[in-house]
A and B are shown apart, each in its own frame.
Chain A
Amino acid sequence: MENALELYHEQLARRELGNLTGVLASHGLALTEEDVSSLLELRHAALGNAGRVELGGGALPKLAQAFCDSPYVDRQNFPTVLGELQDAFYYYKTECCDQFSDEELIEYMVRVFNGPAEGSAELLCGLSLEELCRWARNDGEISFEEGLY
């Protein structure tokens, strides 16, 4: 039963990611079957770490769609970046006590990633929720060099 459920969710996520193939391709990006499998494994761990349960395809397709037009992602780093962003997304989602919707949170993450973080998923993931909100609201007008912490 448990395996069947996991398989069901995986299939949904694969299908939703599959539906994005055209969009990703238009930005020169692609996710291989292997990438997707690896991301789904990471999702499982990220959900557990953040103390969350997910329905359907989950946040991964939303993140893939939101970040595919970032100037800082390419075919090579996209799967790795997506994995890190996924981890950060669930962390922030729990930290904000679900006060932000998926879309609001992803929008904040995109602003910081494309703005002051200059495409560094590592820097983005190192931010506290408060810092993320503060930096997202500054909308890229402040750089990390000016003193993030």
Chain B
Amino acid sequence: MTGELAAAGAYTLLAGRIRAYLQARGRPEDTSIRTETARELLASLEYTMNLAPGPDPARSFENGLAILKKKERAAWDLLRLVRATAPEDGRLFEALEELEAFLRGYEPALFAHFRPSPPDYGPLLPVPGELRGIDYCLSFLDRLWLENQLLAAFTPEELDACWATSLDLGGLPENLAEKPLLHGLGSCLLPPGDLPLGAGELEQLEGVFSRPEALAQGLEVLCRSRGLPGRVQEYFAGVLPGIAARAAGLTAANRGLGPLFY
């Protein structure tokens, strides 16, 4: 352990974090902690200092902590925004509750790098696994916020109609934005362009998945026609290859067994 501390060159800071930890746990007079806890405190310290690198470790830590606190406030704001704009859905609200519980317990001064367990309901584009701490939370919420913006671009009637259609997702949990996205794309690419797509158009849409340029074009038309901002388009441009790959895999696996959409 001391070898790691020496390598980190931040022993005094770590000692301060250990004291802060003992204080926070109501044990200010205690003299020792578990090595695992010390390791987590060290990892948190490194994570925080890396947010504001500089020659003075103490200054780096203070500046990093200030950045974390701003990010924490941003995460709370984003959580409220996502919750206010989210469609009524139990799984989505459960995921938001889990994130809220994480934020309530978040201790940037001690365990800044901790991140929530991934909720069962997640965004279409998974949060990169390497993201830690509040960055994971922010990314998760930001993705849900972008998906909410897409959903808000449809009327409630359109959404209900899209959600009522069946779509084989290959056993993956259903994401609220997926069907409206696919129906929306289909309506931009295939005549007559009504929502939701009919069975024939859905079957035709399967063919489009193997043509990335067509998908990108459809997405552009969809976002433009629905007045969606560039960030939403960028996000869903990142989502589409994953859906296309899944559709290709599913089509291959189910060849002769039926269409992707039914």
Whether the Cβ atoms of B29 and A53 lie closer than 8 Å is no
Residues of B within 8 A of A58 (CB): 31-32
A52 interface residue per 8 A CB criterion: yes
Bound Cα distance from A10 to B148, whole angstroms: 59
Bound Cα distance from A58 to B18, whole angstroms: 13
Bound Cα distance from A12 to B5, whole angstroms: 19
Shortest beta-carbon distance, A12 to chain B, in Å? 10
Whether the Cβ atoms of A59 and B31 lie closer than 8 Å is yes
Bound Cα distance from A51 to B1, whole angstroms: 10
Bound Cα distance from A53 to B19, whole angstroms: 12
Whether the Cβ atoms of B15 and A55 lie closer than 8 Å is yes
Shortest beta-carbon distance, B39 to chain A, in Å? 9
B231 interface residue per 8 A CB criterion: no
B25 interface residue per 8 A CB criterion: yes
Bound Cα distance from A1 to B10, whole angstroms: 11
**B16-42 interface code vs A (CB 8 A; 1 in, 0 out):** 001100000101011111111010000
Interface SS of chain A: mixed
Residues of B within 8 A of A93 (CB): 32
Q: Which of B21-75 contact A (CB under 8 A)?
A: 25, 27, 29-36, 38
Q: How many residues of B contact A (CB 8 A)?
A: 20
Residues of A within 8 A of B3 (CB): 2
How many A-B residue pairs have C-beta atoms within 8 angstroms? Tell me: 57
Shortest beta-carbon distance, A129 to chain B, in Å? 15
Contact of A94 among B6, B25, B34 (CB under 8 A): B34
Q: A5-B11, A98-B25 are in contact. Are A59 and B32 (CB under 8 A)?
A: yes
**A1-23 interface code vs B (CB 8 A; 1 in, 0 out):** 11001100000000000000000
Shortest beta-carbon distance, A93 to chain B, in Å? 7
Shortest beta-carbon distance, A86 to chain B, in Å? 11
Bound Cα distance from A58 to B3, whole angstroms: 19
Q: Which of A50-107 contact B (CB under 8 A)?
A: 51-59, 62, 90, 93-94, 98, 101-103
Whether the Cβ atoms of A53 and B6 lie closer than 8 Å is no
Bound Cα distance from A98 to B24, whole angstroms: 13
Listed in ascending order, the chain B residues whose CB lies under 8 Å from chain A are: 1-3, 5-6, 11, 15, 18-19, 25, 27, 29-36, 38
Given contacts A58-B31, A98-B33, 9 further A-B pairs with CB under 8 A are A2-B3, A47-B32, A52-B33, A52-B35, A53-B2, A54-B31, A55-B15, A57-B31, A102-B32
Listed in ascending order, the chain A residues whose CB lies under 8 Å from chain B are: 1-2, 5-6, 47, 51-59, 62, 90, 93-94, 98, 101-103
A-B contact pairs, 11 of them (CB 8 A): A5-B2, A5-B6, A52-B32, A52-B35, A53-B34, A53-B35, A55-B15, A55-B31, A58-B31, A62-B31, A98-B33
